[in-house]
Amino acid sequence: MGRPPLSIDVTPKDQKELARLLSGGVQQVQVVLRALVLLQLAKGASAPRISQVVPLTPQPSVRLRVVTSVAGWNLHCSRSSAPAQPRCSTMLRNNGSSPWCAAILPRAAPAGPCDWWRRKLSNAGWSPGWEGKRFGFCSSTTTSSRGGKTMWCVAELDEEYISKMEDVLETYEKPHDPGEPVVCLDEKPVTLHADVRPTSPAKPGREARRDNEYERRGTANVFCAVEPKAGRHFTFATPDRSAFEFAHVVFELAMQYQQADTIHLVLDNLNIHCLKSLTDAFGMEMGCEVWDRFTIHFTPKHGSWLNQAEIEIGLFSRQCLGKRRIPTLISLRRESRAWNRRMNHDKIKINWKFDRRTARRKFGYKRRSSSGH
Protein backbone atom coordinates (compact mmCIF):
# COMPACT_ATOMS: atom_id res chain seq x y z
CA MET A 1 0.00 0.00 0.00
CA GLY A 2 1.48 3.33 -1.06
CA ARG A 3 1.29 6.68 0.60
CA PRO A 4 -2.00 8.59 0.30
CA PRO A 5 -2.09 11.14 -2.53
CA LEU A 6 -1.24 14.70 -1.60
CA SER A 7 -3.47 16.53 -4.07
CA ILE A 8 -6.09 18.96 -2.73
CA ASP A 9 -8.87 20.93 -4.37
CA VAL A 10 -8.06 24.61 -4.78
CA THR A 11 -10.59 26.61 -6.80
CA PRO A 12 -9.38 28.70 -9.76
CA LYS A 13 -10.35 31.81 -7.83
CA ASP A 14 -8.16 30.80 -4.90
CA GLN A 15 -5.30 29.98 -7.27
CA LYS A 16 -5.55 33.47 -8.76
CA GLU A 17 -5.51 35.01 -5.29
CA LEU A 18 -2.45 32.97 -4.35
CA ALA A 19 -0.71 33.92 -7.60
CA ARG A 20 -1.52 37.57 -6.98
CA LEU A 21 -0.15 37.27 -3.44
CA LEU A 22 3.12 35.92 -4.87
CA SER A 23 3.33 38.48 -7.67
CA GLY A 24 4.66 41.34 -5.56
CA GLY A 25 4.64 43.24 -2.31
CA VAL A 26 6.22 42.45 1.03
CA GLN A 27 5.02 39.21 2.59
CA GLN A 28 6.17 37.03 5.45
CA VAL A 29 8.40 34.13 4.45
CA GLN A 30 5.93 31.68 6.02
CA VAL A 31 3.11 33.02 3.89
CA VAL A 32 5.12 32.80 0.67
CA LEU A 33 6.40 29.26 1.34
CA ARG A 34 2.98 27.92 2.27
CA ALA A 35 1.36 29.58 -0.71
CA LEU A 36 3.93 27.90 -2.97
CA VAL A 37 3.21 24.55 -1.31
CA LEU A 38 -0.55 24.99 -1.82
CA LEU A 39 -0.06 25.70 -5.51
CA GLN A 40 2.08 22.58 -5.88
CA LEU A 41 -0.47 20.49 -3.95
CA ALA A 42 -3.20 21.74 -6.27
CA LYS A 43 -1.18 20.32 -9.18
CA GLY A 44 -0.97 16.93 -7.46
CA ALA A 45 2.76 17.08 -6.79
CA SER A 46 4.24 14.64 -4.28
CA ALA A 47 5.89 15.77 -1.06
CA PRO A 48 9.44 14.87 -2.24
CA ARG A 49 8.80 16.71 -5.50
CA ILE A 50 7.54 19.78 -3.61
CA SER A 51 10.67 19.73 -1.42
CA GLN A 52 12.75 20.06 -4.60
CA VAL A 53 10.80 23.12 -5.74
CA VAL A 54 10.13 24.80 -2.38
CA PRO A 55 12.94 25.03 0.22
CA LEU A 56 11.06 22.92 2.78
CA THR A 57 11.26 19.33 3.96
CA PRO A 58 8.40 17.01 2.86
CA GLN A 59 6.78 17.03 6.32
CA PRO A 60 5.19 20.53 6.11
CA SER A 61 3.63 19.60 2.75
CA VAL A 62 2.10 16.45 4.22
CA ARG A 63 0.83 18.36 7.26
CA LEU A 64 -0.71 21.10 5.10
CA ARG A 65 -2.45 18.51 2.94
CA VAL A 66 -3.78 16.71 6.04
CA VAL A 67 -5.21 19.92 7.48
CA THR A 68 -6.94 20.94 4.25
CA SER A 69 -8.33 17.57 3.20
CA VAL A 70 -8.53 15.07 6.08
CA ALA A 71 -9.71 17.47 8.79
CA GLY A 72 -12.11 19.35 6.53
CA TRP A 73 -10.52 22.79 6.51
CA ASN A 74 -11.31 25.47 3.93
CA LEU A 75 -9.05 27.90 2.13
CA HIS A 76 -10.21 31.52 2.38
CA CYS A 77 -8.49 34.31 0.47
CA SER A 78 -9.89 37.75 1.16
CA ARG A 79 -8.66 41.23 0.37
CA SER A 80 -10.63 42.82 3.18
CA SER A 81 -9.63 42.47 6.81
CA ALA A 82 -11.64 39.61 8.29
CA PRO A 83 -12.54 39.23 11.99
CA ALA A 84 -9.99 37.38 14.05
CA GLN A 85 -10.63 33.64 14.14
CA PRO A 86 -8.93 30.63 15.72
CA ARG A 87 -5.65 29.70 14.09
CA CYS A 88 -3.39 26.73 14.09
CA SER A 89 0.32 26.34 13.47
CA THR A 90 -0.16 25.28 9.84
CA MET A 91 -2.30 28.19 8.63
CA LEU A 92 -1.21 30.96 6.33
CA ARG A 93 -1.08 34.11 8.44
CA ASN A 94 -0.60 37.80 7.86
CA ASN A 95 0.69 40.26 10.42
CA GLY A 96 -2.18 42.75 10.01
CA SER A 97 -0.19 45.18 7.87
CA SER A 98 -0.57 43.21 4.64
CA PRO A 99 -3.83 43.67 2.68
CA TRP A 100 -3.91 39.99 1.91
CA CYS A 101 -5.26 37.46 4.41
CA ALA A 102 -4.71 33.86 3.33
CA ALA A 103 -5.73 31.47 6.08
CA ILE A 104 -6.92 27.94 6.55
CA LEU A 105 -9.64 28.15 9.18
CA PRO A 106 -11.45 25.34 11.03
CA ARG A 107 -15.17 24.88 10.53
CA ALA A 108 -15.76 23.91 14.16
CA ALA A 109 -13.43 22.98 17.01
CA PRO A 110 -14.44 19.86 18.96
CA ALA A 111 -15.00 20.28 22.67
CA GLY A 112 -12.34 19.01 25.01
CA PRO A 113 -9.60 20.13 27.41
CA CYS A 114 -6.10 21.24 26.50
CA ASP A 115 -6.81 21.52 22.74
CA TRP A 116 -6.47 17.76 22.37
CA TRP A 117 -8.00 17.95 18.91
CA ARG A 118 -5.16 20.14 17.67
CA ARG A 119 -2.63 17.58 18.82
CA LYS A 120 -4.67 14.72 17.36
CA LEU A 121 -4.91 16.63 14.09
CA SER A 122 -1.13 16.44 13.79
CA ASN A 123 -1.50 12.64 13.55
CA ALA A 124 -4.57 12.63 11.31
CA GLY A 125 -2.64 11.66 8.20
CA TRP A 126 -0.40 9.14 9.92
CA SER A 127 -0.72 5.59 8.65
CA PRO A 128 1.19 2.90 10.53
CA GLY A 129 1.34 0.94 7.27
CA TRP A 130 3.45 3.23 5.14
CA GLU A 131 5.07 4.82 8.20
CA GLY A 132 6.30 1.39 9.23
CA LYS A 133 7.78 0.91 5.78
CA ARG A 134 9.46 4.28 6.03
CA PHE A 135 11.03 3.30 9.35
CA GLY A 136 12.36 0.16 7.65
CA PHE A 137 15.26 1.97 6.01
CA CYS A 138 17.67 1.77 8.92
CA SER A 139 20.69 2.53 6.79
CA SER A 140 19.08 5.74 5.54
CA THR A 141 17.32 6.91 8.70
CA THR A 142 18.06 10.58 9.37
CA THR A 143 17.61 12.97 12.26
CA SER A 144 18.42 16.63 12.76
CA SER A 145 20.88 17.88 15.34
CA ARG A 146 20.79 21.24 17.13
CA GLY A 147 23.18 22.65 14.58
CA GLY A 148 20.78 21.85 11.76
CA LYS A 149 23.06 19.15 10.35
CA THR A 150 21.64 15.91 8.98
CA MET A 151 22.60 12.94 11.14
CA TRP A 152 22.60 9.37 9.84
CA CYS A 153 21.96 6.20 11.84
CA VAL A 154 24.17 3.79 9.91
CA ALA A 155 24.08 0.17 11.05
CA GLU A 156 26.51 -2.55 10.01
CA LEU A 157 24.44 -5.26 8.34
CA ASP A 158 26.30 -8.24 9.78
CA GLU A 159 25.06 -11.68 10.83
CA GLU A 160 24.18 -10.52 14.34
CA TYR A 161 22.12 -7.60 13.03
CA ILE A 162 20.26 -9.78 10.51
CA SER A 163 19.64 -12.52 13.09
CA LYS A 164 18.12 -10.16 15.66
CA MET A 165 16.13 -8.25 13.05
CA GLU A 166 14.60 -11.43 11.63
CA ASP A 167 13.82 -12.67 15.13
CA VAL A 168 11.89 -9.49 15.93
CA LEU A 169 10.12 -9.44 12.56
CA GLU A 170 9.20 -13.12 12.85
CA THR A 171 7.65 -12.32 16.23
CA TYR A 172 5.61 -9.51 14.69
CA GLU A 173 4.37 -11.80 11.90
CA LYS A 174 2.76 -14.25 14.32
CA PRO A 175 -1.05 -14.06 14.41
CA HIS A 176 -2.56 -12.58 17.53
CA ASP A 177 -2.68 -15.18 20.29
CA PRO A 178 -3.91 -14.26 23.82
CA GLY A 179 -1.79 -17.13 25.11
CA GLU A 180 1.39 -15.59 23.67
CA PRO A 181 0.90 -11.82 23.46
CA VAL A 182 3.57 -9.66 21.80
CA VAL A 183 4.39 -6.53 23.83
CA CYS A 184 6.86 -3.78 22.93
CA LEU A 185 8.45 -1.62 25.65
CA ASP A 186 10.56 1.52 25.53
CA GLU A 187 11.09 4.64 27.64
CA LYS A 188 11.03 8.39 27.08
CA PRO A 189 12.60 11.13 29.24
CA VAL A 190 10.34 14.09 30.01
CA THR A 191 11.48 17.54 31.13
CA LEU A 192 9.16 19.15 33.68
CA HIS A 193 8.37 22.85 33.24
CA ALA A 194 6.16 25.22 35.23
CA ASP A 195 4.68 28.57 34.22
CA VAL A 196 6.22 31.55 35.99
CA ARG A 197 3.15 33.67 35.29
CA PRO A 198 -0.43 32.46 34.80
CA THR A 199 -1.67 31.94 31.26
CA SER A 200 -4.07 34.55 29.91
CA PRO A 201 -7.19 32.70 28.72
CA ALA A 202 -8.60 33.13 25.24
CA LYS A 203 -11.17 35.85 24.62
CA PRO A 204 -13.40 36.67 21.65
CA GLY A 205 -11.05 37.88 18.94
CA ARG A 206 -7.89 36.92 20.83
CA GLU A 207 -6.16 33.60 21.35
CA ALA A 208 -4.81 32.39 24.68
CA ARG A 209 -1.46 33.85 25.67
CA ARG A 210 1.30 32.05 27.52
CA ASP A 211 4.40 33.78 28.81
CA ASN A 212 7.58 32.53 27.17
CA GLU A 213 9.37 32.40 30.53
CA TYR A 214 9.19 29.13 32.41
CA GLU A 215 10.77 27.40 35.38
CA ARG A 216 12.51 24.06 35.12
CA ARG A 217 11.25 21.49 37.61
CA GLY A 218 13.65 18.66 36.89
CA THR A 219 13.06 15.58 34.78
CA ALA A 220 10.93 12.46 34.81
CA ASN A 221 10.53 9.36 32.67
CA VAL A 222 7.70 7.52 30.97
CA PHE A 223 7.75 3.81 30.13
CA CYS A 224 5.51 3.17 27.12
CA ALA A 225 4.39 -0.39 26.40
CA VAL A 226 1.98 -1.52 23.69
CA GLU A 227 0.49 -4.77 22.45
CA PRO A 228 0.18 -3.68 18.80
CA LYS A 229 -2.22 -6.33 17.50
CA ALA A 230 -4.62 -6.12 20.45
CA GLY A 231 -4.60 -2.35 20.89
CA ARG A 232 -3.60 -2.52 24.56
CA HIS A 233 -1.54 0.37 25.88
CA PHE A 234 0.40 0.73 29.14
CA THR A 235 1.95 4.01 30.26
CA PHE A 236 4.02 4.29 33.45
CA ALA A 237 5.31 7.70 34.58
CA THR A 238 8.30 7.28 36.89
CA PRO A 239 10.79 9.63 38.61
CA ASP A 240 13.70 8.27 36.56
CA ARG A 241 14.82 5.56 34.17
CA SER A 242 16.50 3.31 36.70
CA ALA A 243 16.80 -0.46 36.85
CA PHE A 244 14.50 -0.41 39.89
CA GLU A 245 11.71 1.33 37.94
CA PHE A 246 12.19 -0.98 34.96
CA ALA A 247 11.83 -4.00 37.23
CA HIS A 248 8.51 -2.73 38.58
CA VAL A 249 7.22 -1.99 35.07
CA VAL A 250 8.08 -5.53 33.95
CA PHE A 251 6.33 -6.89 37.04
CA GLU A 252 3.20 -4.85 36.23
CA LEU A 253 3.21 -6.17 32.66
CA ALA A 254 3.47 -9.74 33.96
CA MET A 255 0.45 -9.11 36.20
CA GLN A 256 -1.55 -7.85 33.20
CA TYR A 257 -1.06 -11.18 31.38
CA GLN A 258 -1.43 -13.73 34.16
CA GLN A 259 -3.26 -16.20 31.91
CA ALA A 260 -0.65 -16.13 29.13
CA ASP A 261 1.71 -19.06 28.60
CA THR A 262 4.53 -16.65 27.78
CA ILE A 263 4.81 -12.95 26.96
CA HIS A 264 6.94 -11.98 23.97
CA LEU A 265 8.66 -8.75 25.04
CA VAL A 266 10.52 -6.62 22.47
CA LEU A 267 13.26 -4.42 23.98
CA ASP A 268 16.23 -2.40 22.79
CA ASN A 269 19.75 -2.87 24.16
CA LEU A 270 19.62 -0.46 27.11
CA ASN A 271 21.77 -1.72 29.98
CA ILE A 272 18.85 -1.92 32.45
CA HIS A 273 16.91 -4.32 30.20
CA CYS A 274 18.22 -7.46 31.87
CA LEU A 275 17.52 -10.06 34.54
CA LYS A 276 19.83 -8.33 37.04
CA SER A 277 17.43 -5.37 37.31
CA LEU A 278 14.71 -7.71 38.57
CA THR A 279 16.92 -9.75 40.91
CA ASP A 280 18.27 -6.56 42.50
CA ALA A 281 14.74 -5.27 43.05
CA PHE A 282 12.88 -8.44 44.08
CA GLY A 283 15.57 -10.94 45.02
CA MET A 284 16.93 -13.88 43.07
CA GLU A 285 13.93 -16.23 43.38
CA MET A 286 11.13 -13.77 42.61
CA GLY A 287 13.18 -11.88 40.03
CA CYS A 288 13.87 -15.06 38.05
CA GLU A 289 10.23 -16.11 38.36
CA VAL A 290 9.01 -12.82 36.87
CA TRP A 291 11.69 -12.78 34.15
CA ASP A 292 10.82 -16.35 33.12
CA ARG A 293 7.29 -15.18 32.30
CA PHE A 294 8.77 -13.40 29.28
CA THR A 295 10.38 -14.45 26.02
CA ILE A 296 12.76 -11.57 25.32
CA HIS A 297 13.47 -10.34 21.80
CA PHE A 298 16.22 -7.72 21.60
CA THR A 299 16.42 -5.38 18.63
CA PRO A 300 19.86 -5.17 16.95
CA LYS A 301 22.25 -2.37 17.79
CA HIS A 302 21.26 0.79 15.89
CA GLY A 303 18.01 -1.04 15.16
CA SER A 304 15.71 0.38 17.80
CA TRP A 305 13.41 1.49 14.95
CA LEU A 306 12.26 -2.14 14.91
CA ASN A 307 10.64 -1.62 18.31
CA GLN A 308 7.01 -0.61 17.79
CA ALA A 309 7.10 1.06 21.20
CA GLU A 310 8.87 3.95 19.45
CA ILE A 311 5.67 4.55 17.48
CA GLU A 312 3.79 4.47 20.78
CA ILE A 313 6.18 7.06 22.22
CA GLY A 314 5.62 9.28 19.20
CA LEU A 315 1.86 9.12 19.66
CA PHE A 316 2.21 9.80 23.39
CA SER A 317 4.49 12.78 22.78
CA ARG A 318 2.17 14.42 20.26
CA GLN A 319 -1.24 13.53 21.66
CA CYS A 320 -0.61 13.65 25.42
CA LEU A 321 2.35 15.94 26.01
CA GLY A 322 2.07 18.24 23.01
CA LYS A 323 3.63 21.62 23.72
CA ARG A 324 2.18 21.91 27.19
CA ARG A 325 4.19 22.55 30.32
CA ILE A 326 3.83 19.81 32.90
CA PRO A 327 5.22 20.95 36.26
CA THR A 328 5.20 17.82 38.46
CA LEU A 329 5.40 14.06 38.31
CA ILE A 330 1.88 13.92 39.76
CA SER A 331 0.56 15.95 36.84
CA LEU A 332 2.47 13.78 34.38
CA ARG A 333 0.95 10.63 35.88
CA ARG A 334 -2.54 12.12 35.74
CA GLU A 335 -2.18 13.15 32.09
CA SER A 336 -0.60 9.84 31.04
CA ARG A 337 -3.36 7.84 32.74
CA ALA A 338 -6.03 9.89 30.97
CA TRP A 339 -4.34 9.36 27.60
CA ASN A 340 -3.89 5.66 28.37
CA ARG A 341 -7.60 5.23 29.17
CA ARG A 342 -8.61 6.88 25.91
CA MET A 343 -6.24 4.75 23.82
CA ASN A 344 -7.43 1.53 25.47
CA HIS A 345 -11.07 2.56 25.10
CA ASP A 346 -10.56 3.12 21.36
CA LYS A 347 -8.30 0.02 21.08
CA ILE A 348 -5.86 1.81 18.81
CA LYS A 349 -3.76 -0.81 17.01
CA ILE A 350 -0.49 -0.48 15.11
CA ASN A 351 -0.62 -1.92 11.61
CA TRP A 352 3.02 -2.89 11.16
CA LYS A 353 3.81 -3.73 7.53
CA PHE A 354 7.59 -4.22 7.52
CA ASP A 355 8.17 -8.00 7.45
CA ARG A 356 11.09 -10.33 6.77
CA ARG A 357 10.40 -10.55 3.05
CA THR A 358 10.47 -6.77 2.78
CA ALA A 359 13.66 -6.60 4.85
CA ARG A 360 15.42 -9.05 2.52
CA ARG A 361 14.37 -7.05 -0.51
CA LYS A 362 15.32 -3.66 0.95
CA PHE A 363 18.61 -4.68 2.51
CA GLY A 364 19.61 -7.10 -0.24
CA TYR A 365 20.47 -10.20 1.78
CA LYS A 366 19.31 -13.77 1.21
CA ARG A 367 16.88 -15.80 3.24
CA ARG A 368 18.43 -17.37 6.31
CA SER A 369 18.23 -21.16 6.44
CA SER A 370 17.16 -21.18 10.11
CA SER A 371 14.21 -18.95 9.32
CA GLY A 372 11.01 -20.68 8.44
CA HIS A 373 9.70 -17.81 6.33
Model confidence pLDDT, tens digit, residues 182-236: 999 999 999 999 988 888 888 898 888 888 888 999 999 999 999 999 999 999 9
- Stronger pLDDT, 77 or 37, i.e. the higher one: 37
Q: Are residues 286 and 355 in the same domain?
A: yes
Within-domain flag for 2: no
Q: Are residues 250 and 284 in the same domain?
A: yes
Q: Are residues 111 and 157 in the same domain?
A: no
- Stronger pLDDT, 243 or 33, i.e. the higher one: 243
Q: Are residues 37 and 165 in the same domain?
A: no
Q: Are residues 217 and 163 in the same domain?
A: yes
Which candidate, 35, 115, 108, places its Cα nearest to that of 77? 35
pLDDT digits (tens, 9 = 90+) for 40-76: 877 778 777 787 778 777 777 666 665 555 443 343 3
- DSSP reduced 3-state for 235: strand
Q: Are residues 293 and 170 in the same domain?
A: yes
3-state helix, strand, coil in the chain (%, to 5): 40, 20, 40
- The predicted pLDDT at position 300 comes to 94
How many residues belong to the chain?
373
Within-domain flag for 166: yes
Whether pTM > 0.75 for this model: the answer is no
Q: Are residues 187 and 319 in the same domain?
A: yes
Res. 139: pLDDT tops 70: no
CA distance 367 to 373: 8
- Beta-bridged to residue 203, according to DSSP, are 206
pLDDT digits (tens, 9 = 90+) for 261-319: 999 999 999 999 999 999 999 999 999 999 999 999 999 998 999 999 999 999 999 99
Within-domain flag for 1: no
Which structural domain, as residue segments, surrounds residue 285?
Answer: 128-142+153-363
Q: Are residues 178 and 205 in the same domain?
A: yes
CATH, residue 174: 3.30.420.10
Within-domain flag for 4: no
Average pLDDT over every residue of 325-332: 95
Q: Are residues 100 and 133 in the same domain?
A: no
- The predicted pLDDT at position 71 comes to 41
Q: Are residues 172 and 34 in the same domain?
A: no
Within-domain flag for 121: no
Within-domain flag for 373: no
- DSSP reduced 3-state for 318: helix
Cβ atoms of 236 and 249 closer than 8 Å:
yes
- The predicted pLDDT at position 109 comes to 44
Domain tally, the chain:
2
- Buried b / exposed e over 8-22, threshold 16 CB at 10 Å, is bebeeebbebbeebe
Average pLDDT over every residue of 239-246: 96
Within-domain flag for 123: no
- The predicted pLDDT at position 4 comes to 52
Q: Is 129 left (phi over 0), alpha (psi -120 to 50) or beta?
A: alpha
- The predicted pLDDT at position 310 comes to 96
- Beta-bridged to residue 295, according to DSSP, are 264
Q: Are residues 219 and 359 in the same domain?
A: yes
- The predicted pLDDT at position 45 comes to 80
- The predicted pLDDT at position 63 comes to 65
Q: Are residues 90 and 62 in the same domain?
A: yes
Within-domain flag for 159: yes
